[in-house]
Chains A and B, each alone.
Chain A
Amino acid sequence: MYAYDELDRTLINERVSEFRDQVKRRLSGELTEDEFKLLRLQNGVYLQLHAYMFRVAIPYGTLSSKQLRRLAHVARRYDRGYGHFTTRQNIQFNWIKLAELPDALADLAEVGIHAMQTSGNNMRNVTSDQWAGVAPGEIEDPRIWSELIRQHTTLHPEFSFLPRKFKIAITASEHDRAAIKIHDIGLRLHRNADGETGFEVLVGGGLGRTPFIAKTIKPFVNGRDVLSYIEAILRVYNQYGRRDNIYKARIKILVHELGIEKFAREVDEEWKQMGDTELRLDRAAIEEVRSRFSYPLYEKLPHMPDELKQAAHDPLFERWRRNSVAPHKVQGYSIVTLSLKPVGGPPGDATAEQMDAVADLADKYSFGEIRVGHEQNLALPHVAKRDLPALFKALDRLGLATPNVNLVTDIIACPGLDYCSLANARSIPIAQELTRRFANHDTAGLIGRLHINISGCINACGHHHVGHIGILGVEKNGEEFYQITIGGRADENAQMGTLIGPAVPYAEVADVVEDIVEAYLALRDRPEELFVDTVKRLGVEPFKERVYATR
């Protein structure tokens, strides 16, 4: 956990006061909507179909139980009793009133939560691996760096009016759970030959209407120089990024138009000119931030406690454990994923009651800590293995033990036309129908790892391009249609999926997905061959044939 000090607290309180003043000026007519829009966006406030939508940051996906309870309070007091966890470690409330927003922000500020820069053309929430600090084999905790970058880019006087939004993600593990290759800047923590810690820096990734996988701009930037290097990238982007066309304003377009070599030269030139800046982090500065992350005092526990041996006779427990429980770097502990994808439910939603209950479970079983991942699930990062059976029972009662993590029903979906003013088509009902089609978790387990991603428009908030199966809602003559891609992935081997054919109407989407899955089961050369690997081996043709033969 990162503990705010007096300075962090002062800053977010000052931000709340400023926004209170801005809202007051807006409601009195002193500020026009045109002037106010950007100010509200910089505080995470959108205007959606039904109401304002309020997006709150969960930096690098780490929450304390106290913070989660406060999010539950906001859901209850200012909204309609639930919230939606997004693909970028944020939570969104869908029904908030502008006049009450300053109070909601003030309530959150009391526990060190803010909504700064969760929208707008500035640096967005810095995201990281939801298993940071607990994953076995990690180089070091990437959240130290995430926090350094978060502070550096919060209310940055030079980069608060960039050509377009800007997203950074950081990973420190071999397996990328932070989707760094689809970010404006992706940082992969590693050690060089001299044993120094630093970053492979990737730039220009992103989805939306012009999707790109990020390219490596520098294989190694020493950790102490990471802020100045990011500053150099942002300065080049701020000056040369396109501002004439909103669809061409992201850094990926600049990188694409200049080419990565030329872009890298521009950045290097700027970086050289910056010289030995105050941005160079000495050991003491890094230690200062590191010292404010607290870690649990783990007990010395057996690898296989009796409680676990006994519970192994319960098939429901075993099925859940095999699916949702991951190894921890400390013996005797586990990382537990809490699925927010119940059969028939909207992906990523949690009720205030569930949030409160998870906060209680975190206190009881996870040293008061909760994580949020980009797959729209929660995690308890430090659960003693002996507590797993009791935790399972508690989660099951809350509807949070669906054993479908990384399976076909663990669907990532944007809010779609049910909420979003940009959407062309609905996402959530498609996801709900799919979870009903694959409601048998044993069958889903036999299908194996399969990520379905759904976006309700080309802006791709549901990351459909990188879904193993991607579903994109489009509009044709006032009707909802969906384009289907297969073979995409968001991990260290990130790539865009391939379109299998013409878009299909709303009512046929679930049938098409079933056809694709059946084709895969018939085509895979052994049960261990994952869906994406079969697609890679065979291409899209056999799937296309299966889907369109009868349509």
Chain B
Amino acid sequence: MTSPLEQKKIRITGPSVVTANRTWDGAVVYRTAQKGWSTELADAATVGTSDDARVLLAEATADDVGAVGAYVAPVDLKDGGKIQPGNLREHIRAKGVTIDLRVPA
């Protein structure tokens, strides 16, 4: 996954959301249509064009106190419109690590 930290020009090719980490605790959050943040991907505002993505990102970035490191991330709407992460990186951010954390001693 190319790190979105290196995201320069915004050009989306499918449905996308804006995501960041909440400032006080670092939790993964998504930008909502109500101009707030939610920890649920289901609450995220989705955009379909690069222009809309730019607008949503600009709004999100303007809130420097609420959340940090905002960027545009792909999502998948195939499953009956339910928002799913669009790549492995976002899958891991939304659902957690892919590994068994601890082996029983």
A–B interface present (Cβ within 8 A): yes
Interface size class of B (residues with CB under 8 A): 20 to 34
Closest chain B CB from A106 CB (angstroms): 18
Q: Which A173-218 residues sit within 8 Å CB-CB of chain B?
A: none
Q: Give Cα A47–Cα B5 distance, bound, in whole angstroms.
A: 11
Whether a CB of chain B sits under 8 angstroms from the CB of A398 is: yes
Q: How does the 8 Å CB contact mask read for B67-95 relative to A, with 1 for contact and 0 for none?
A: 01100000000000000000111001100
Contact yes or no, B28 A50, CB < 8 A: yes
Please pick, from B26, B89, B98, the residue contacting A51 in the complex, using a CB distance under 8 A. B26
In the complex, the chain B residue whose C-beta lies closest to that of A478 is B87
Please pick, from A27, A345, A428, the residue contacting B23 in the complex, using a CB distance under 8 A. A27
Which of the candidate stretches A140-148, A267-275, A419-427, A516-524 sits at the interface with the other chain?
A: A419-427
Q: Give Cα A342–Cα B101 distance, bound, in whole angstroms.
A: 12
Q: Which B33-73 residues sit within 8 Å CB-CB of chain A?
A: 64-65, 68-69
- The answer to whether residues A417 and B64 also contact, given A344-B100, A429-B99, A432-B99 and a CB cut-off of 8 A, is no
In the complex, the chain B residue whose C-beta lies closest to that of A27 is B24
Contact yes or no, B3 A346, CB < 8 A: no
Q: Give Cα A539–Cα B24 distance, bound, in whole angstroms.
A: 52
Q: Give Cα A419–Cα B97 distance, bound, in whole angstroms.
A: 7
Contact yes or no, A47 B26, CB < 8 A: yes
Contact yes or no, B69 A47, CB < 8 A: yes
Please pick, from A51, A344, A424, the residue contacting B25 in the complex, using a CB distance under 8 A. A51
Chain A positions within 8 Å of B68 at CB level: 33, 47
Closest chain A CB from B17 CB (angstroms): 16
- The answer to whether residues A26 and B23 also contact, given A50-B28, A344-B100, A344-B103 and a CB cut-off of 8 A, is yes
Whether a CB of chain B sits under 8 angstroms from the CB of A349 is: yes
Chain A positions within 8 Å of B69 at CB level: 33, 47, 421
Whether a CB of chain B sits under 8 angstroms from the CB of A151 is: no
Closest chain A CB from B57 CB (angstroms): 15
Q: How does the 8 Å CB contact mask read for A2-16 relative to B, with 1 for contact and 0 for none?
A: 000000000000000
Contact yes or no, A478 B97, CB < 8 A: no
- The answer to whether residues A51 and B92 also contact, given A33-B64, A475-B1 and a CB cut-off of 8 A, is no
Q: Give Cα A131–Cα B89 distance, bound, in whole angstroms.
A: 39
Whether a CB of chain B sits under 8 angstroms from the CB of A293 is: no
Interface size class of A (residues with CB under 8 A): 35 or more
Which among B2, B68, B96 has the greatest number of chain A C-beta atoms within 10 A? Answer: B68
Which of the candidate stretches A95-103, A233-241, A371-379 sits at the interface with the other chain?
A: A95-103
Closest chain A CB from B73 CB (angstroms): 12
Contact yes or no, A99 B100, CB < 8 A: no
In the complex, the chain B residue whose C-beta lies closest to that of A29 is B65
Please pick, from B2, B65, B103, the residue contacting A399 in the complex, using a CB distance under 8 A. B103
Q: Give Cα A99–Cα B105 distance, bound, in whole angstroms.
A: 33
Contact yes or no, A345 B64, CB < 8 A: no
Contact yes or no, B101 A99, CB < 8 A: no
Q: Which A57-97 residues sit within 8 Å CB-CB of chain B?
A: 82, 95-97
Q: Give Cα A341–Cα B99 distance, bound, in whole angstroms.
A: 15
Chain A positions within 8 Å of B65 at CB level: 27-29
Please pick, from A27, A96, A399, A480, the residue contacting B26 in the complex, using a CB distance under 8 A. A96
Closest chain A CB from B59 CB (angstroms): 16
Contact yes or no, B26 A349, CB < 8 A: no
Q: How does the 8 Å CB contact mask read for A424-459 relative to B, with 1 for contact and 0 for none?
A: 111011001000000000000000000000000100
Chain B positions within 8 Å of A82 at CB level: 101-102
Closest chain B CB from A397 CB (angstroms): 7
Q: Give Cα A98–Cα B27 distance, bound, in whole angstroms.
A: 10
Chain A positions within 8 Å of B88 at CB level: 417, 478, 480
Contact yes or no, B93 A50, CB < 8 A: yes
- The answer to whether residues A50 and B101 also contact, given A29-B64, A29-B65, A424-B3 and a CB cut-off of 8 A, is no
- The answer to whether residues A418 and B25 also contact, given A343-B103, A345-B103, A423-B3 and a CB cut-off of 8 A, is no
Please pick, from A32, A98, A399, the residue contacting B105 in the complex, using a CB distance under 8 A. A399
Whether a CB of chain B sits under 8 angstroms from the CB of A49 is: yes
Closest chain A CB from B97 CB (angstroms): 4
A-B pairs with beta carbons under 8 Å apart, 30 shown: A27-B23, A32-B64, A33-B68, A47-B21, A47-B26, A47-B68, A49-B89, A49-B92, A50-B26, A50-B28, A50-B93, A50-B96, A51-B21, A96-B26, A97-B24, A98-B24, A98-B25, A345-B102, A399-B104, A417-B88, A418-B97, A421-B3, A422-B3, A424-B1, A424-B2, A424-B3, A432-B99, A475-B2, A478-B88, A480-B88
Q: A29-B65, A49-B92, A50-B97 are in contact. List 4 more A-B contacts (CB 8 A).
A: A33-B68, A51-B21, A51-B26, A418-B98
List 5 tightest A-B contacts by C-beta distance, closest first: A399-B105, A51-B26, A97-B25, A52-B26, A418-B97
Q: Which residues of B contact A (CB under 8 A)?
A: 1-3, 5, 21, 23-28, 64-65, 68-69, 87-89, 92-93, 96-105
Q: Which residues of A contact B (CB under 8 A)?
A: 26-29, 32-33, 47-52, 82, 95-99, 342-346, 349, 351, 354, 397-399, 417-419, 421-426, 428-429, 432, 457, 475, 478, 480
